[in-house]
Every structure is written in C-alpha cells, then in structure tokens.
Amino acid sequence: MVGLRSLLLSAPTENFGIWWRHVMNLESFQIHYLHCICLLWRIWKSRNKVVFEFTQPLASSLARQFFFQVQEYSSVSPHPQLLSPRLQSSRLSSWVGPPEGFIKINFDAALHVQGSSLGLVVRETDGQVFLALGFHHPGISNPYLAELLAARDAISVVLSRSIPRAIIEGDSEVVVRQLDGRCCEDSVGGPLLRDCCQLLRSSSSCILGCL
C-alpha cells in the first residue's frame, strides 16, 4: 500500500477534481487504479451511512472492507499483480457462502433521478447463482425505503419459490437490525416495514444478516 499512499499524496490539494486529473496522468496510475476506485467507493459508502443512517463507521472498518473488496475483485481479475504479496497470501473474500442446505439472497438498492432500482442475487452454498432479479420503483427517493423495498422483494422470493432455509443479507444495518428484531413500528417505514415483518412471520426459516 506504500505505492497507493504515494499516489494519494502526489498532488496535495483540497480540490478532488484537480487531484483526480493529476493522478490519471501519472504513469503509475494504471497499477493503482483498482486501489483508488475501491478506496473511493468505501469512503462513499461510509459517507452514506453518516448521512442516511446517522452512524459513524470506524476507520478500521472502512480499511478492512477496502482490503476485502480489492481481494474479491482481484480473485477474478486477469491482473493479480494489482495485489500486494501480503494480500495475495490471504485471499479473503467479502462474500461468504451459506451453510449446507441454505440458500443466500443478497439484496441492495440504488437511487437515481427516476426513483430507485433494486437488485437481488440468489446463490447456493458453492456460490452458484441460480436467480438474479432487478426491480424499478419510480418515485422512491428515500434510501431507507429503497432498502426496505429490496428486503421485501428478497423475502418475497423465499416465499414464492418455497425456499426451505434462506439467509437474507443486505448492507443497510438499520433495515437488517429492524427486521431481525421484528421491530415493525417506524414513522418512516410505516406500512412497508410492517409488510416485511408480516412476510417474515410467514417464513420462519429466514435468517437476516448484514454485510
């Protein structure tokens, strides 16, 4: 990571646009672009937790997730030299397969001008994808509600497909914590949160987890 640190400090400035244009012109940029992208993504995700979930992520947590993301990408990349030797030796992955006999469903939401887009991926123990779905909900601009909608879609898949045992995993700690505790009263979530709880009561085999 020494090279990355040098890259980040190569043009000290408070203007991100100026810094970004500078590093893109460096000869070493192609070597470290993956690190830059993953690091900026983790910073953005942490910023969203502060703004939308009113939580303060630890710097150590951000760094750990950054390392995992670099490793996960590099494990399927044709350019393994992008990883440092120490990272190559560990080869950790941020996605962990479910126990034998379980199915894992990962859900997420993204906001855009037209509303929100939701997606979920259903995988078996060995990581084999047997179902991937996407949904669009016009007019939904609240990130919390978008995550709730994605969670509801994931739970609905368990019921509609008669999946006997499922682990449902998302990256919104607030949503996962509420549903896992069956906390069904919330001024923002309202009927949508209660709908999720009702679906969960109809399927006692669901286990909720947070990335």
- Number of compact structural domains in the chain: 2
pLDDT for residue 32: 67
Report if residue 66 sits inside a domain: yes
Report if residue 9 sits inside a domain: yes
Which of 61, 90, 119 is the last residue in one of the domains?
90
Percent of the chain with pLDDT over 90: 15
pLDDT for residue 14: 65
Please tell me the distance from the alpha carbon of residue 116 to that of residue 139, in angstroms, as a whole number: 7
Could you tell me which of 90, 84, 88, 92 has the C-alpha nearest to residue 2?
84
Residue 8 has pLDDT above 70, yes or no: no
Report if residue 96 sits inside a domain: no
pLDDT for residue 94: 60
The tens digit of pLDDT for each residue in 106-165 reads 999 988 777 888 999 999 988 889 899 988 888 888 888 889 999 999 999 999 988 889
Report if residue 97 sits inside a domain: no
Residues 47-75, mean pLDDT to the nearest whole number? 77
115 and 69 in a common domain: no
140 and 75 in a common domain: no
pTM metric for this prediction: 0.57
197 and 167 in a common domain: yes
The tens digit of pLDDT for each residue in 179-188 reads 887 666 666 6
Report if residue 95 sits inside a domain: no
Domain harbouring 178, CATH code: 3.30.420.10
Which of 67, 90, 113 is the last residue in one of the domains?
90
Which of 90, 125, 160 is the last residue in one of the domains?
90
The domain of 178 spans 103-210
13 and 76 in a common domain: yes
136 and 75 in a common domain: no
Calculate the alpha carbon distances from 121 to 34, 40, 60, 165, 171 in Å.
24, 24, 28, 16, 13
Please tell me the distance from the alpha carbon of residue 72 to that of residue 148, in angstroms, as a whole number: 27
The tens digit of pLDDT for each residue in 71-104 reads 766 665 554 444 444 433 344 446 788 888 899 9
Residue 166 has pLDDT above 80, yes or no: yes
pLDDT for residue 82: 41
pLDDT for residue 77: 53
Please tell me the distance from the alpha carbon of residue 164 to that of residue 102, in angstroms, as a whole number: 8
Please tell me the distance from the alpha carbon of residue 36 to that of residue 18, in angstroms, as a whole number: 15
pLDDT for residue 27: 62
